[in-house]
Every structure is written in C-alpha cells, then in structure tokens.
Chain A
Amino acid sequence: MNHNYQKDISGCGLTGLISKSGELVPGSVIIKSICPMRDRGNGLGAGFAAYGIYPDYKDYYALHIMFDHGTARELTEEFLESNYEVAKHERIPHQKTKYIVYHPMLYRYFVKPKSGRPDKEFADVEGDDFVVRTVMKVNSEIEGAYVFSSGKNMGAFKGVGFPDEIAEFYMIEDYKGYIWTAHNRFPTNTPGWWGGAHPFTLLDWSIVHNGEISSYGINKRYLEMFGYRCTLLTDTEVIAYIFDLMIRRHGMPFKTACKAVAAPFWKDIDDMPEDEKEALTSIRMVYGSALLNGPFSILFGHSNGLIGLSDRIKLRPLVVAEKDDRVYMASEESSIREICAKPAKVWYPRAGEPVIVNLDNKNI
C-alpha cells in the first residue's frame, strides 16, 4: 500500500431508517425508499446495510467477503480457520439477474476469534481489534479478497448496479432489520467496482455517503498511524475508520466524534462558554487530521442507533423525518414520503449538526 493507490470519488443518494423500539422492518421498505432517487446514481454501485438480521448468530462476527478468484478464497479461509472458530460459512444468498451477470464470489462467515491463535503478529489483540486487524490484513494482503462487512448481527450487501438490481441480486426483501441504510452511487472519477460500493463498514459501523472527502489524503495518512489501511480505493472508507478510531478506540461519545469530523468554525468556538471552547479547541488541535473536509452527508449506522450528519457548510442535502418510533433520514424528502406518507415531523438538520437516534432498549 502506498500513495500510488487511486481513490475513487462519488456523488450519491442515500436513505435510512431506524425503529427505536427495535421492531424488525422488512427489506422491501428500504428498497422502496431508495429507488425513487435513481437519478442520484448511475448504475455503478448500490448497497444496503441492515442491523438485526442474524439473530441466530448474534454473538458471532459476520464476515461478508468478496473474492475475485478461488486462490483468494483459499488463502482467506485458511487464515480464518486457523484464527477463528467458524460457526457457519456459506455463500451469501444471491441470484443472477438481468443486469448483474458478472460478480465476485460472495461468502459469509460467522466467526469468533480463537483464544490460541497462530497469527503471532496479533496474538494478544482482543476481539474487536483482532477483527479490525483481520479486515485490514485480508483487504491489503490477500489479492482479490475484500471483507465488506464485519459486524455482529448486521451485514452489508453491495455491488455494481442500480439499487433495485442490487436488491434483487441479494434478495434484500428476505431480510428484516431494525436499522436499514441504502445507497445509490454516482462515481465520477473511476469506474465503479464491487468493493467500492457503499455501505462501507468496519465491525458494527456502517457508512453511506454522498459527497467527496477533499481531505481524504490527510485522513488516510492520519489513520495509517493507528494501523488502519485504506485499500478500498474510495474516500468514504476513511469515514468508517475514523469513527472506529474515535468512538471505539478512543472512547469518544458519538456527539463529540461528530464535532471532530464536522468541527464548528473557529469563530463559533471562540464565542462559546469557557469549558466548551476549551474542549472544542482541543478537539480541533488533536483531531485536525480527522476533520472531514469537502461535501458530505452521511448516514452512520451502528448496532445501537443511526446518525445523520452533513458537512459543516452543508454542501450535500440531508432531510430527517419522524413518525411513531421510526426516524427516517435521506438525501431527498420524496424518498421518505415514499415509505412514510405523513411523517409527524420533517426537518433539514443544520450544517454539521448531527442527528443522533438511539434504540430505546440497547439490548437488542
């Protein structure tokens, strides 16, 4: 891995929903929501993430992996078998469709790290960290293998196609989740590829993104200091890793992490009460390299909630609506109206102001 890697840049449409009570929503709902935003994509990428889809294996990491060829699969499985207890592995259910004929091999593995692992390099690394290292290792060292989902009781499904095609391909309507995100991709600088579709995930974190991270270069170099390797050739990847670094590894509250990636302007910080001013000044000092600059609106899913966030000058749209126990977030209001005709409340969050929605009961 070096600077010669080419990143990919994208515009896009996104939508997501959360049932705060943890009620499982069928995939057909999110498909209905993403499809009206067809013009926000160009057929070169779409994807879905869902939480709560693997209740039978909820204590296992569900690794979704795409392989370009059999050797990549053999090498990856060899690594997994020697380092993980594999409860189940299988092809990710999918079907040939009219438009999606060629695709990588798609497998999923429900795994737990073994206690005695032959991989000495990470021998003393704990569960989540070991999985992160595994993802980095597979993605960067095994040519033709890409882990595209690695959380528990959740999964990402993505590929090259329009959302309706990808949904049909993965049979998304067969899944039920309490959080859903979906993405329609419009890559403009390089052709879309399967690994470059959204959502981008790491552990339970999943990101769908509309925009372009102008600070990608420094975000990537910053993450490399902490052992992350950006190999999926798309700027969105850094967002997932930055949140993992801040929230999981540095123990930062969600809201604070949002203040770091979409930091308030100095002129606003200077006017804040002393404690807050000091805290936000320190965030910008310490996490300046993690500031996400450029246009973005993102939906950030995790096992306990959904966050919507746009950049600090709001160069990309984001609309939020609420009805009963459900919160909807999307690039366009029409997407929400399609699945919730009469929301109780609709609003456009201010630039850089995160919309943070958590489950009522975190033990789902």
Chain B
Amino acid sequence: MRRSYLIPEFVVDIEHTNCRRCKRCVMNCSYEALSFENKVVPDNFKCVACHRCVVYCPEQVITVRKNPTDFKGSANWTDRHRLDIWKQAETGSILLTGMGNDLPYEIIFDHLVLDACQVTNPSIDPLREPMELRTYLGKKPDSLEFVETPDGKLKLKEKPPKNLKLEIPIVFAPMSYGAISLNSHKAMAMAAKEMGTVMHTGEGGLHEELYDYGQYTITQCASGRFGVHADYLKRGIAVDIKIGQGAKPGIGGHLPGEKVGLDISKTRMIPMGTDALSPAPHHDIYSIEDLRQLIFAIKEATGYKPVSVKIATVHNIAAIASGVVRAGADIVYLDGFRGGTGAAPRIVRDHVGIPLELALASVDDRLRQEGIRNHASLIAAGSIRSAADAIKAIALGADAVAIGTGALIAIGCRVCQTCHMGRCAWGIATQRPELTRRLDPEIAAERLINLLRAWSLEIKEVLGSLGLNAIESLRGSRERLRGIGLDSQTLDILAVKAAGK
C-alpha cells in the first residue's frame, strides 16, 4: 500500500497513569479512532475531534488537540491548501464536508452594534414590563377593513390570509430525517411545541411518530419529493419549497443508500438501501412561472396554508426574492452562505453564495422599493450563532431567524464537520441505531428549550435597552444599528450608518 502523505489533523493524548482502563472511550468512539491493547491506543488519523471520548471519560484523562506539527510557513500555501492537495492527489475526488462554511470571510454581524436608550427615551425593564416577541409569518394585506358592530366593538370585514404564529422569532432550520436522526427530529418537535415555534422537517418527510406535532412543523417539498404526500403536507402548519441551500447553492442533496434503513425508507417513500438523490432543479420548476404553479398547487392542496420558498443567497438575490414573492410565496427563507449542510462539496460550501447580512438587507430594501414587503415574511438563516445575530438579522429586516447548526450544537454537536460520514458520535447526524440511541430526545429537547428560552430572554433584554416592547418595532429598523470597521459600500448596502454618526 502506498504511503499517504497526509498527517493527522488532531492528536489524542491519554494520561495512562490515571486511566482506569474502563474502555468507555473506546465504546464511545464511533470513528474507531480508539482501540484497546492493554491500554487505550489512539489512531490519530481517524480522530475528528468530536470530543465524545473527552466528555465521557470518567477520569478526564483524554485531551484532543490540534496536531502541533508545523508546516513551513506561508500565507499563500496554507496548511489547508497543502492538505487538500495531498488528499486530492491521493483520491482524485471532490472534497466532501459537513456543516457550514468555515473560511475566515468577514462576519458582518460581528461588525454591527446596537443602540441603547439613555435619558431622552427610557429603556424598559423586561422583568417588570411586558416584552413581546410574538411574530406572524405570511402574507399580509396592505390594509384592513372593519365593520362597526352595534356595541361599538371592532370586527373585521374580511379575514387576512392565514399566517404562521410564532411566540418567538426563532424557528428550527430545515434538517431532514436522514441527514439527522429521528431522535434529533423528536427533540426539535418537542422544543418547538413547548416554545410556541416550529421545526422544519427538511426534505426527508415527517416520521409518523411525529405526526402529532404537525402544528409545530413546517413540511418541505424539495426536488426529490421525498415523503411528500397529501397527509404530510396537511399535517404541517406551513409548507416550504426548497429551491436552494446556503451551504450549496445550485447543488442538490444526496443521502447515501447505506443511511436509508426501514424507517427512512418508509418516511421518504423510497426503497431501502437506495441513494436518495434530490437534484438542485425541481423536475417541474425551470422558471418563476413554474414556481408559481407549484406554490398555488400546494396552497390548493393544503387549504391555503402559508407557503415558504427557501433560496440560497446568491449574487442577484434581491431580484430573485422579488420574483419569488410575486410568484405567491408567503415566506421567503433566505439561507446565507454560512448555512450548514449534512454533506456538500467543500468547494461549493466555501466559495459559492454571499453573506446572509448583505442578502437580507438588499432583499428587504428591494421588496420595500417595490411596495411588496408586506406580501411575504423573511426568515433569515445561515449561521445564526447567538441571540445577538438574531437581533441584528431582525433589525436588518428579517421577520424571524432559523437555527440549524446552533440547535445541533445545543444538543451536543461539536461541529467536527464530518456529518457526511454518518458516524456522528453524539447520535445527531447519523442513522446507526447504536449511535442514534445515544441522543435522548427528552434531554435534547430540554437543552433546545433552554437555548430558545435563553435567547428569548436576551432578545427581550436588548429590546428593553432599545426602549422597545414589541419585536415588530425592531424589524427592519436599521436606524438602531451602527457599523464598525465596515467599508462605505458595505454600509450602503446594509443601509446602516457608521458608528459615531
């Protein structure tokens, strides 16, 4: 066998003198990086830094660190470039990866700061005053008409279109059953119900065990039509048509056959063991008119539930979003180029698309210029890492944000970027029964609920400091943001003033 030129990315150190040889680390290592030969022996090449062994070692004698071996320094030929070339020289393959873009592009959210009230306008204490995060997603008419009732009460002349009611402006991002485990889905469904928000099935359908959570679910119709049937669509509170994904714009999905066991086969309605390929284009959508037909077909099928269209943020996103709204979408789901993925070619994940912040600002602007901002809500997604990101996205114009990777991290994900291997040691992004059972859905749900609750409290705290007591007063209010270290063109696109102005 030819010698590989690669070197391990990580080094596993075990403090053998204090190790009691319980082998728990070996049992926990789904990547088979640890074995036992009188003592625990690491195979550094296989370690992905998932930290499962570190967390579950009762003696805490395991350390995983980045391989300290130095490369001859070069700002141009980075370690990453060299390792990639060696990998490809050995395999002749596309580099595959999981999770989101990790290149050091400027993160605009980190260059935006929020306003706060001082003397002229009192801040509001969220512990003493109501602070409202309730959000309705969907098409709104430009105006309402009322009829006078004899007792002088308000009554609507005509009901507005159905909207999706959220108690918090945070939803779970689409992650399919297949890409992630059933227990992960269960945890999100339970958390969504508890917090009055929604989880998003992704393109893999909805497992029957989760049908009771339908009212807290956005179902998805992707190009593969996996698991899409009338009952599925009707179970959900809204339907999403997946056109693009932030991590891989213009690229379809691929669930390898080995992940398609009995349950996934039934849920996706495909034979066991077959690859589930969902190409980027839908077989019936090659134009905006085609999209319109599908939107209205879904509306007819579901009794006019809100229909969302998920698009990846690309160069001409404002015009695309305008077309999507004019095609009848009630929600436009904008997935930024840092959005996560179960598996994608690294070149696409890292180099295709544009940052969410810029896309969001230009879409919100464009829809306003065209006078159609009320016709659809915007969900912003693609690496919302904290409540601060969520608040800034809302101030830039989002109605709500979606969290995918953030939710997975809450339930244990270490962002080791190897979801595509299907060996997730935490039972999150895997279908292997011995691994999926590691994730207790109730414990995971509790962690998700805690995360959403914590973020909600933080959002309320910031709203209070801004002197606002309703989230709708922050939505699109870019006046409350300032940029630090952003160039004037970026500030112009964001329609945000520089700090100090």
Contact = CB atoms under 8 A, between A and B. Distances in A.
Interface in A192-215: 211-212, 214-215
A215 B473 contact: yes
B493 to A, nearest CB: 11
B154 interface: yes
Interface in B462-486: 466-470, 472-480
Interface stretch (A118-126, A288-296, A337-345): A288-296
A293 B368 contact: no
Contact of B468 (A188, A265, A294): A294
B475 A288 contact: yes
Given A3-B495, A225-B371, A265-B132, A218 B475 contact: yes
B144 A3 contact: no
Interface in B412-451: none
Nearest to B481: A217
Contact of B497 (A4, A282, A287): A4
A191 B431 CA distance: 65
A313 interface: yes
A225 B373 contact: yes
A315 interface: yes
Contact of B467 (A252, A285, A293): A293
Given A11-B120, A295-B121, A313 B476 contact: no
A280 B129 CA distance: 20
Between A291, A293, A312, the greatest number of chain B beta carbons within 10 A of the residue's beta carbon is seen for A293
Contacts of B160: 282, 285-286
Interface stretch (A77-85, A142-150, A271-279): A271-279
A267 interface: yes
B130 interface: yes
Interface string B273-301: 00000000000000000000000000000
A259 B144 CA distance: 13
Interface stretch (B19-27, B145-153, B347-355): B145-153
Interface in A326-344: none
A289 B472 contact: yes
A347 B297 CA distance: 57
B429 to A, nearest CB: 36
Between B121, B130, B148, B495, the greatest number of chain A beta carbons within 10 A of the residue's beta carbon is seen for B121
A363 interface: no
B146 A279 contact: yes
Contacts of B142: 250, 286
A276 B478 contact: no
B476 A218 contact: yes
B155 A279 contact: yes
Interface in B95-126: 117, 119-122, 124
Contacts of A348: none
Given A214-B468, A218-B476, A286-B374, A253 B496 contact: no
Consensus secondary structure, chain B interface: loop
B167 to A, nearest CB: 9
B154 A279 contact: yes
B136 interface: yes
Contact of A279 (B117, B119, B156, B472): B156
Contact of B132 (A3, A266, A283, A286): A266
A286 B141 contact: yes
Given A3-B495, A275-B153, A279-B146, A293 B470 contact: yes
B154 A259 contact: yes
A211 B472 contact: no
A189 B120 contact: yes
B495 A2 contact: yes
Contact of A221 (B140, B154, B159, B476): B476
A97 B426 CA distance: 80
B16 interface: no
Given A216-B479, A217-B476, A293-B468, A276 B121 contact: no
B143 interface: yes
Contact of B122 (A10, A225, A253, A295): A295
B163 interface: yes
Given A212-B120, A212-B121, A288 B469 contact: no
A250 B129 CA distance: 32
A256 B479 contact: no
B1 to A, nearest CB: 62
B134 interface: yes
B146 A253 contact: yes
Given A293-B467, A294-B468, A283 B144 contact: yes
A284 interface: yes
A114 interface: no
A287 B156 CA distance: 14
Contacts of A315: 122
B477 A218 contact: yes
Given A7-B479, A280-B154, A266 B134 contact: yes
A224 interface: yes
Contact of B478 (A217, A224, A286, A289): A217
A4 B143 CA distance: 29
A355 interface: no
A295 B154 contact: no
Between A252, A273, A282, A285, the greatest number of chain B beta carbons within 10 A of the residue's beta carbon is seen for A285
A281 B130 CA distance: 17
B479 A282 contact: no
A60 B432 CA distance: 80
Nearest to A11: B120
A323 to B, nearest CB: 26
A285 B140 contact: yes
Nearest to B128: A313
A275 B148 CA distance: 11
B474 A218 contact: yes
Given A212-B120, A224-B368, A286-B140, A217 B468 contact: no
B496 A293 contact: no
B120 A289 contact: no
Nearest to A246: B143
B129 A313 contact: yes
A9 interface: yes
Nearest to A273: B153
Contact of A293 (B120, B143, B469, B476): B469
Interface in B159-196: 159-160, 163
Given A9-B121, A214-B467, A221-B476, A3 B497 contact: yes
Interface of B: 117, 119-122, 124, 129-130, 132, 134, 136, 140-146, 148-149, 153-156, 159-160, 163, 368, 371, 373-374, 466-470, 472-480, 495-497, 501
Given A225-B368, A256-B146, A291-B470, 8 more contacts: A216-B479, A226-B371, A266-B132, A279-B155, A281-B136, A285-B160, A293-B467, A293-B473
Q: Nearest 8 pairs between A and B by C-beta?
A: A217-B479, A288-B472, A217-B477, A215-B473, A293-B473, A250-B143, A212-B121, A218-B477
20 contacts: A2-B495, A10-B120, A214-B121, A214-B473, A216-B477, A218-B475, A221-B478, A225-B374, A249-B143, A250-B143, A252-B144, A265-B132, A275-B155, A276-B153, A282-B156, A282-B159, A285-B163, A291-B472, A295-B121, A313-B124
